[in-house]
Amino acid sequence: MKKIITGVVAVGVVAVGALWAFASVTPNVTVDAAVANRAGDPVHGAYLARAADCIACHTAKGGTPFAGGLPFETPVGTIYSTNITADKEHGIGGYTFEEFALAMREGVAKGGKRLYPAMPFTSYAKVSDADLQDLYAYFTQQVPQSSQPNRASDIAWPLSIRWPLAYWSRAFHDDSRYVADTTKSVEWNRGAYLVQGLAHCSTCHTPRGAAMQELDVSGKTDLYLAGSSLDHTAPINLRSSAGGGLEAWSEADIVATLKTGRNPHASVSGPMGEVVENSTQYLSDADLKAMAVYLKSLGTPPQAPSFHADDNTLKTILAGEAHGRGADMYLDSCSACHRMNGRGASGVFPSLVNNAMVTQANPDSLIAVILAGSRLPSTQTAPSPLAMPGFGWRYSDDDVAQLATFVRSSWGNQGPAITAKDVAAVRAKAGS
């Protein structure tokens, strides 16, 4: 028995050693020689950093820009973003361009340390060599240095061991560059390049599998940008499909949303507000239009509109026949801004009618807004940060469920009913 146990242990040690050895092999990153030897353009790199919204993840609240330290909760513990300033000890000032490209495309830091895929290298892999060179020039030449040390994760051992991430990448990561579709226009390809790459829209808007991998990062299936559940929010379906998504949105509506955070159909909330404030409002009109063209090409719109607005709810309210706790709360707390017809005031108070965030199957984002409120982003073209107060302090879980259910079933909306249990789960996360 002793020999058997010794043999099993020996085999186990050898197997783990072999697995570790494989995982320790640094992936090859091929960079075009002409690009590697050119001088990067830091001004263009600053624009690309905006498009990638690097500042959002690599800046702690109230902290030095790009110095890291922002916490990210994961199922196994909290990780913290890293310092990406030009500091040579704690940042990326000591990185060569090839080492920078390795981190961006393969999720491998200088020295071989694996990065958690919270860093969207799965999208950044599609970025061109030239754009990566410009990003590198910006971060190493124009971003002020910060000596802020990187903070270790709060993940307990052995889950904190990173070399198994190599197997995650082997199973789920496609590191191929973006390849233009010659059957599409230059504008469409520019939009696809931005959406799939630097803007990393898939990170939030594509559903994930059991290993937290995005189920499609390249637009090859109907799962791409089809909406997801993320940290008790529900990023909407960005495809033009029946019963939700951007079916009712025009290209101009998408551009307005990315530029100002609002359009006649809806307004952004939660993390998307930060995306608009930090990133998309600064993109050129041509790039925003290209992104809109690409997004509107996704999915198969129905031959006839799948949503049919009705005025039954409004008639019932005006006749004094709107009964039920949900209707009472809506009239008391919501109708002053969103109006009794649910249509709000365009560009000021968002419409709740045929609003994808309101009616989609996953109600988490709607619940979160009711509980904690929301604030529109302040942008160059829409500088007033209008805010909605939260009602979590005022209403119970059952109250919020009835209010949300009323909104999801009025004016032609056909969203499923919400339960107090649904609200409790979001409240526990939001702390409202």
Task: Give phi and psi for 373, each to the nearest 5.
Answer: 80, -175
User: Residue 200 annotated as binding?
Assistant: no
75 has a pLDDT exceeding 90 = no
204 is in an annotated binding site: yes
pLDDT at 273: 92
Beta-bridged to residue 267, according to DSSP, are 262
Give the tokens for residue 95: 């990185």
**Which residue matches tokens 């199922």?**
75
Q: Is 338 annotated as a binding residue?
A: yes
Contact 251, 296 (CB under 8 A): yes
pLDDT of residue 93: 95
Given a cut of 90, is residue 407 above it in pLDDT? Answer: yes
Average pLDDT value for the chain: 89
* pLDDT at residue 25, as a whole number: 53
Split at pLDDT 50, 70, 90, the class of 26 is: low
- Residue 321 is predicted with a pLDDT of 84
d(CA 389, CA 369): 9
Q: Which two three-digit tokens encode residue 309? A: 């607005």
What pLDDT does 383 receive? 80
Query: How many Å apart are CA 432 and CA 425, to the nearest integer?
Result: 11
Mean pLDDT for 387-392 is 93
On whether 58 is known to bind a ligand per the annotation, the reply is yes
pLDDT(3) > 80: no
What is the pLDDT at residue 386? 83
Q: Residue 90 annotated as binding? A: no
Q: What is the pLDDT of residues 233-267, one digit of tens each?
A: 899 999 987 656 888 899 999 999 999 999 988 99
pLDDT of 432 over the 70 cut: no
Residue 68 confidence (pLDDT): 96
pLDDT value at residue 8: 42
pLDDT at 230 over 70: yes
Q: Does position 328 have pLDDT exceeding 80, yes or no?
A: yes
Say whether pLDDT at 57 is over 70: yes
CATH of domain 312-430: 1.10.760.10
Q: Which residues are paired to 72 by β-bridges?
A: 79
What type of residue is 79? I
Backbone φ, ψ for residue 276 (5° rounding): -65, -45
Whether 301 shows a pLDDT value over 60: the answer reads yes
For 365, other C-beta atoms within 10 Å of its C-beta total 25
- Quickly state the pLDDT bin for 42 (edges 50, 70, 90): very high
Q: Say if residue 158's pLDDT is above 60.
A: yes
Statement: residue 303 has pLDDT above 80: no
pLDDT of 9 > 60? The answer is no
More confident residue, 284 or 8: 284
Residues 44-51, mean pLDDT to the nearest whole number: 98
pLDDT of residue 4: 46
Distances (CA, A) of 75 to 150, 160, 233, 344: 21, 12, 15, 38
Confidence of residue 189 (pLDDT cuts 50, 70, 90): very high
Q: What number is the average pLDDT over the span 386-412? A: 94
Summarize pLDDT for 195-221 with one digit per residue, the tens: 999 999 999 999 999 988 999 998 999
**Domains 186-296 and 312-430 agree in fold:** yes
Residue 76's pLDDT is 84
Annotated binding residue 308: no
Domain chopping of the chain, boundaries: 14-152+160-172, 186-296, 312-430
pLDDT value of position 320? 85
Confidence of residue 322 (pLDDT cuts 50, 70, 90): confident
265 is in an annotated binding site: no
Pick the CATH number of 186-296 from 1.25.40, 1.10.760, 3.30.70, 3.40.50: 1.10.760
Instruction: State the pLDDT at residue 20.
Output: 43
